[in-house]
Amino acid sequence: MKVVTFGEIMMRLNPEGYLRFIQADRFEASYAGGEANVAVSLANYGMDASFVTKLPENPLGEAARNAVRHFGVDTSCIVWGGPRLGLYFVEKGASQRASKVVYDRAGSSIALARRRDFDWNSILKGAKWFHFTGITPALGGELPAICLDALKVCKAKGITVSCDLNYRAKLWSREEAGRTMAKLAKYVDVMIANEADAADVFGIKAADTDVDSGKLAKEGYVSVAKQLVRRFGCGKVAITLRTSLSAFDNKWAGMMYDAKSGKAFFSTEYTIHIVDRVGGGDSFGGGLIYALSTGRKPQEAIDFAVAASCLKHSIEHDFNMVSVKEVEALAAGNASGRVQR
C-alpha cells in the first residue's frame, strides 16, 4: 500500500553527548523532519512510502534526500529549487535539565514553496494514505493552501488522511494554528496529538490534567477525542500520554478513540529511560499508520504504535530504525531488554 507524506526535512545539529550549546565546539549532523520520520518508519516496516518536499538544488539538499532514500523511501516527487535547507539544533537534556531545540529554518526552500510546485493529482496517483503534520502549514507562505490542495485531491480520490497536530509555539501562535488547522482538520480521518496539542490548537482541554506537573487523567483524553470527532468528523483520534519524571525517565502510553464503535482503547504503559526523545511522536504516528493500514484491530493498533515509539526513545537521532518483529515482540510483553543471542 502506498503512503505519501508531505513536509519539511532539515539538517539536525547537536553537540556531542550531553554538552550544552554554549559548551559545544563541534556539532554532529543528521537529517530529519516530522513527515520524513514517518516515511522512514513505514519503509522500515516494508511499506511503499513516499516523501514529498521542496529542497535546494545543492549538495545539502541532495544529502537530505539521500538520508531518507537510504531506507527505501521513494523521493521521486521531491521538488527542487529555492534558497536553502532548514536547520535545527538539539541540546539533549539530562536529569532535571530539559532538552532544548533551536530552529534556523526561516526562508527555507519548502517554506517559500508555491502551489504551482506540486501536482497533487500526479503525486497521489495510486496512494491509499496521506500524512502531514501541523508543522507544515505553520511554516507559512503558501503552505496552508498547498496542504489544502493536497487534502482536496485526497478527498476526491478516497485517500485516507492522517494528521499529527504537532503544535510548535516557535512557529506560530495558538490563534493562527487554530484558524488554519480548523480548515484542514475537516479532511482528516485519523487525528494524532499529544497531551497538550488539542488544547494549544483548538482550546479543547482534558479535565483533571496538568502536563507540566505530570498529572494525566486518562478519561479526560477520551473527552478530548470525542470533542475532536464531533467538531471535525474524524474517524479515529489517537493521543500519546507522556508522564515526564525527568529528562531521562518518562512513562509512555497512548489512547485511541474509535468513532465507529464509540470506544476508547488504552495501551500498555511503559517506563522508559531515554536515549533520544526527538521523533518519538513521529514514530508513534508511523506505527499507527502501519497498524491501521494493515487491518489491525483498534487495541492491536494502539499497542503497536506505542511499542514502536517506546523503542524509538532508545535510538539516537530522529529516525525509528526498528522492524515489525521487534515492535510486535515488545507489544507482546517482551520488555526485559535482555541480550538476544
Q: Which domains are assigned to the chain? A: 2-331 (3.40.1190.20)
Residue 219, φ and ψ in degrees, nearest 5: -65, -25
Which spans in the chain are helix H?
Answer: 34-44, 59-69, 120-123, 135-138, 143-157, 174-185, 197-202, 218-232, 280-293, 298-312, 324-331
Residues 283-328 pLDDT 10s: 999 999 999 999 999 999 999 999 999 999 999 999 999 999 999 9
Per-residue model confidence (pLDDT) at position 341: 53
Cell of 33: 523532519
Per-residue model confidence (pLDDT) at position 297: 96
Cell of 13: 545539529
Per-residue model confidence (pLDDT) at position 338: 60
Per-residue model confidence (pLDDT) at position 339: 52
How many CB atoms are located within 10 Å of the residue 151 CB? 22
Q: Which residues of the chain have pLDDT under 50?
A: none
Residues 47-85 pLDDT 10s: 999 999 999 999 999 999 999 999 999 999 999 999 999
Per-residue model confidence (pLDDT) at position 218: 74
Per-residue model confidence (pLDDT) at position 219: 78
User: Which residue spans within 41-111 are E strands per DSSP?
Assistant: 48-52, 54-55, 79-80, 87-91, 100-104
Per-residue model confidence (pLDDT) at position 15: 97
For residue 297, give every residue at least 6 positions away whose Cβ sits within 8 Å of its Cβ, in sequence order, or none. Answer: none
Per-residue model confidence (pLDDT) at position 58: 98
Per-residue model confidence (pLDDT) at position 215: 55
Per-residue model confidence (pLDDT) at position 337: 66
The answer to whether the beta carbons of residues 11 and 31 sit under 8 Å apart is yes
How much is the pTM? 0.94
**Alpha carbons 327 and 302: distance in angstroms, whole number:** 12
